[in-house]
Structure formats: C-alpha cells, structure tokens
Amino acid sequence: PPLLALLCLGARGAESPESQPDAPPDEPWCPYKVGADGAGARLCFRPPARGFQCSARGCRAHRSAGGALVANVLRNGSVLLQWGLRHWGAPRPSAALRGFALNCSWDGTYTRFPCDSVELGAACRDYLLAEAHGSVRYRLCLQPRYAPPRPAPPAQCVEFRVEPAAMRDIVVAMTAVGGSICVMLVFICLLVAYITENLMSPALAR
C-alpha cells in the first residue's frame, strides 16, 4: 500500500536482540496492518520488544529452517515473533527494503485454515500474536518485500503448537496436589517413627 510504503521508505530496521545485536536504538515504532487477505486493514503502530529473552521456564522458542524467523511461545498463550535479515543474505543497511509480509495458517481436523495476514514496515523486527488457540498447530511464514527490480527472497516458515490453557492449569494443580501429598506422607512417616520409638518401646519393655 502506498501509505505504508511511504512511512517505511528508507527506514533502517532495528534487528531483534536475538538475531542482530548491533541494532540501532533510534527506531521507536513498528508500523503494521492486519487484515484478512489484506482487505479492510488499518495502519497501526507498536513499540519493538527490545531486550526480550526466551527463558526456559516460561517460554519455548521455535526457529525456522533458515534461522531467520523465531517464534517464542509464552506460557500465557501469546507468541512473540522475531526475525533478522542476515539469514536472507540481505545487505545491511538496505534502502530497497519496503517491509515484510506475514502469512498465518493453522491446522483443523480435515483442512488448513488461514489466519489474518499482516503487512509490516521495514523497521519491524518482531510481532506479537496476543492470543493463540491452544492445541492448534500454527504455521507462520515471513517474506521480505523489496523495491523493483530486486526480487523478493523466499519466505521462511516456522511451525509450533500452543499448549492449551486448560492443560497448563491441570499441570499446575496436579503439581500442587502432588507436593501436598508428599509433605503429608513425610509427616505421617515421622509421626509413626516417633510413636514406635517413644511409646511402643517402653510398653514392650514392661
């Protein structure tokens, strides 16, 4: 779209901390448009998630085959996507970069359904999927867009499955119950040992 291209023309992208450590600190906003097949979308802005690190306790990282796209699946059901240009072999900085196209789909019982498509500006290096459905296998593909005559490189895709919220709650509840049972068993064992040593031994001696 002309408005998005005008806003993002000549913007120098800030690489995500995980993929490009030499990111310039002067790109405060990421312009993007979300819509089904690009129709009826409006221009929005979001701040980049600089400094994000996927910790093992609350996040699982899934990387594309080429290494350019990373999906950080969080325990709260959201997914933070991060990417860099060096895995596409792009020169840095690239004035011909016009933005990125993100396509999403998920597997149903018998077929694959499309998600909302996203158009991102050239300054964007991450994007947040706020609410992903649990027990659904997602496939997201990201492709850079360049001005002619430079052709667009092939898209890089990542697949992942979000753990359902109900299952997370069940696991937490079972962990809590199991810990309580263990503590109770230890207390019972100590009580039995105390009774055996202090009460039954004198009675047997008499």
Report pLDDT for 81: 94
Q: What is the Cβ-side half-sphere exposure of residue 152, based on CA atoms within 13 angstroms?
A: 12
Report pLDDT for 165: 58
Q: Is pLDDT at 155 greater than 80 in this prediction?
A: yes
Residue type, 184: M
Report pLDDT for 6: 39
Pairing of strands 79-83, 69-74: antiparallel
Q: In terms of pLDDT, which residue wins out, 40 or 109?
A: 109
Q: Is pLDDT at 21 greater than 70 in this prediction?
A: no
Phi-psi region of 170 (alpha: psi -120 to 50; beta: other; left: phi over 0): alpha
Q: In terms of pLDDT, which residue wins out, 82 or 164?
A: 82
DSSP three-state, residue 133: coil
Percent of the chain at pLDDT exceeding 90? 26
**Beta-ladder partners of 89:** none
Q: Has this prediction a pTM greater than 0.85?
A: no
The answer for residues whose C-beta is within 8 angstroms of residue 165's C-beta and 6 or more apart is 77, 134
Q: In terms of pLDDT, which residue wins out, 57 or 21?
A: 57
Q: In terms of pLDDT, which residue wins out, 180 or 159?
A: 159
Band (196; pLDDT cuts 50, 70, 90):
confident
